[in-house]
Amino acid sequence: MSTVETASTSSPLGLFERYLSLWVALCIGAGVALGAMMPGAFQVVAGLEYASVNLVVAVLIWVMIYPMMVNVDFASLKDVGKKPKGLCITLVVNWLIKPFTMAALGVLFFEYLFAGLVDPQSAREYIAGMILLGVAPCTAMVFVWSQMVRGDANYTLVQVSINDVIMIFAFAPIAALLLGVTDIVVPWETLLLSVVLYVLIPLGAGYLTRKRLDAKGDHEKIASLTEGMKPFSVIGLLATVVLLFGFQAETILTKPLVIGLIAIPLLIQSYGMFLLAFAWAYVWRVPFDTAAPAALIGTSNFFELAVAVAISLFGLHSGAALATVVGVLVEVPVMLSLVALANYLRPRFT
């Protein structure tokens, strides 16, 4: 079963998409190697950021999600409320389950199972970073994963938008509760800039494109346009992987054991949340094009926000910041495997 099933395997792009996981693995290796050989170049690119949002990565993500935004039918958005089950799954998993299971896993592994491998202060900071990841549901990459499982573009937009609104009010209180501190300061610039870059700008561009094509009566051209954008989406994804792993090459090479320890509970959390949401959707008889994005939204993390808060609370070189960086590193490989799993299980939903 291919990771992405939207293209014919007889075409070069179809063959490329068929082995997308392999190309991602190669890009991970290339990113680490290039980051180790040319750290200065990656530092320059990493410095092109504002409010902890890297502008180069933002452009690449924009390229990835623009085709999906073209597919959003604004006229049908009003009917999304008639299918509340997908929204219910998304919101319950993201805000009533995920933050607390992440905190529980952090405590279990770093205060008990890994207690002899890390010092208590570092353990507390790792737990804090994991909690920040658990409290920050993803905004941008969800559109990419949804597109790969042929999710309902309209419904995914609503799910992400409602999550963003809730995050504005719920992130700080839940993080403060689980971290046991009261001085959580939400980096509003990071939060708002990410929403603008990852949702509003590509959504506006997609809306204008669709409106122009609709006015000309070129309804078939919408499909051909999004099909033609696929090579750019895949290239954007692979370039993002190279950059993310290149940015953290030194950390990966100098602290492999710590990264491995942090990755274990993060992996358990990711696969656990996906299976919980996906099974719930199956039992509730939610259509696949709604169920798959709902489960993927409940799995992925808004790592820019988590990293920014970890640095502001604990410092750039803290264990909390390192834990959020590990979240960045496991995000793409894990989500690609879950996309493949969702596509494999698609027939069961019919």
Position 103 scores a pLDDT of 93
Residues of the chain with pLDDT under 50: 1-13, 182
Inter-axis angle of helices 120-134 and 256-283, nearest 10? 30
- CATH entry 1.10.620.20 includes domain 12-349: no
Cα distance between residue 321 and residue 308, in whole Å: 8
At 57-77, the pLDDT tens digits run 888 888 888 877 887 777 766
DSSP letter assigned to residue 285: T
- Determine the pLDDT at residue 12: 43
Cβ neighbours of residue 16 closer than 8 Å, sequence gap 6 or more: 23, 234
Q: Which two tokens stand for residue 125?
A: 């900071």
Alpha carbon 55 to its chain's center: 17
Residue type, 318: S
Does the pTM exceed 0.75?
A: yes
Report the pLDDT value the prediction gives residue 181, as an integer from 0 to 100. 59
- Mean residue pLDDT of the chain comes to 84
Size (the chain), residues = 350
